[in-house]
């Protein structure tokens, strides 16, 4: 059963057109979209059944993480509507509140319908340019090898993404706070602290810039195809190229900096208790800057600032970044990975 709610929504675009619109998108608020499918209903000329979702769900659907039925079954705002598209005036449609999806089972789309099956481009503004990065793989691989390769690539991706997002004027303050806390709020005494650092950077992502696996072929030769931010892919590619060209020098500086921290018994020391103004701190700032310059990490000042100008925290993060970049680089050096064809638009990319 449906009843007039007095609510309206703005028609945005048709997503699927077969003889006539079959799936459409409407805007109800800043964090509210209506995804709607054509149905059959008496007393309506062109009836649609809609679910009210939030922007995160919409982005997840656009990128193929969930199917269309999921949006109707678990809409964030737990509201469903009916409307007659024939009554649209000035781009607005009048909404009727409807019962939940279980009461309207016959209206629900089939399982397994994903955004790649849209016949029309959606007109939502593209926030981040998404691309596909292709990796050709060869040689012997075990499942842990795949996990390690993708894990190191993921850590690098969210490290560079975090730096980009923090300096962007378009990123929400709460996201920037998450990024700052990721760099500054961990003691960095051991392995779990570093895991938490990269996990927090991962958590600061938004669905429109999240990294995802598009295709994978577990064979030799095989391939891994990932979707993500074109700018971040470029950052990683540039970093890898520079790292490869000066690996011996970078490795020597890594061992020197790591050895100094060990000698000073700082490797297992909490960064929170470190004297940021002492002589050791001043020495570390210079060594960290030199290390970052050799890696050609141009964001040293940003990283240093995000740690609250804590030289020990900066040193540990740079050492951690080196270890991830080194293991990622080794997959290429071993001949087991090489970049495939040039980056190409993803079939699931934002339109």
Residue-range domain boundaries for the chain: 2-117, 130-339
- Cβ contacts of 332-336, under 8 Å, gap ≥ 24: 332/240, 332/244, 333/244, 334/139, 335/138, 335/139, 336/137, 336/138, 336/139, 336/141, 336/145
Q: What is the pTM of this model?
A: 0.71
d(CA 182, CA 186): 7
Instruction: Count CB-CB contacts under 10 A for residue 289.
Output: 17
Separation CA 156–CA 235 (nearest Å): 9
pLDDT of residue 130: 72
Tell me whether the omega of the peptide bond preceding residue 285 falls within 30 degrees of 0, making it cis.
no
Return averaged pLDDT per consecutive 10 residues of the chain, 351 residues in all: 74 94 94 95 94 91 91 94 95 92 84 93 61 92 91 96 94 94 90 88 85 84 90 94 95 98 95 95 97 93 97 97 97 92 45 34
Q: Which two tokens stand for residue 226?
A: 């990932």
Beta strands 222-229 and 92-98, pairing class: unpaired
Cross-strand pairs, 97? 3, 81
Residue 2 has what pLDDT?
52
């Amino acid at each position: 059963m449906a009843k007039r709610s007095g609510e309206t929504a703005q028609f945005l675009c048709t997503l699927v057109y077969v003889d006539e619109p079959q799936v459409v998108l409407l805007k109800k608020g800043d964090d509210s979209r209506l995804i709607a499918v054509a149905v059959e209903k008496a007393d309506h000329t062109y009836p649609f059944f809609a679910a009210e979702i939030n922007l995160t769900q919409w982005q997840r659907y656009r990128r193929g993480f969930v199917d269309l039925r999921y949006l109707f079954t678990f809409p964030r705002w737990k509201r469903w509507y009916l409307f007659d598209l024939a009554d649209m005036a000035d781009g607005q449609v009048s909404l009727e509140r409807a019962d939940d999806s279980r009461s309207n089972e016959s209206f629900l789309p089939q399982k397994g319908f994903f955004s790649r099956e849209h016949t029309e481009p959606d007109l939502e503004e593209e926030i981040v340019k998404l691309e596909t990065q292709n990796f050709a793989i060869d040689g012997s691989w075990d499942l842990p090898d795949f996990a390690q390769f993708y894990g190191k690539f993921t850590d690098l991706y969210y490290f560079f993404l975090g730096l980009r997002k923090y300096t962007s004027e378009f990123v929400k303050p709460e996201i920037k706070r998450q990024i700052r806390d990721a760099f500054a709020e961990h003691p960095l005494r051991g392995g779990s602290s570093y895991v938490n650092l990269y996990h927090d950077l991962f958590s600061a992502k938004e669905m429109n810039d999240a990294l995802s696996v598009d295709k994978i072929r577990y064979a030799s030769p095989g391939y891994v195809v990932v979707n993500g931010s074109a700018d971040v892919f470029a950052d990683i590619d540039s970093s890898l190229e520079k790292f490869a060209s000066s690996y011996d020098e970078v490795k020597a500086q890594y061992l020197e900096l790591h050895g100094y921290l060990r000698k000073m018994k700082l490797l297992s020391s909490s960064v929170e208790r470190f004297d940021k103004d002492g002589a050791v701190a001043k020495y570390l700032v210079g060594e960290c800057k030199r290390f970052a310059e050799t890696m050609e990490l141009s964001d040293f000042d940003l990283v240093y600032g995000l740690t609250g100008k804590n030289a020990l925290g900066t040193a540990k993060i740079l050492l951690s970044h080196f270890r991830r970049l080194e293991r990622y680089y080794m997959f290429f050096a071993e001949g087991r990975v090489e970049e495939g064809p040039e980056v190409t638009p993803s079939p699931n990319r934002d339109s």
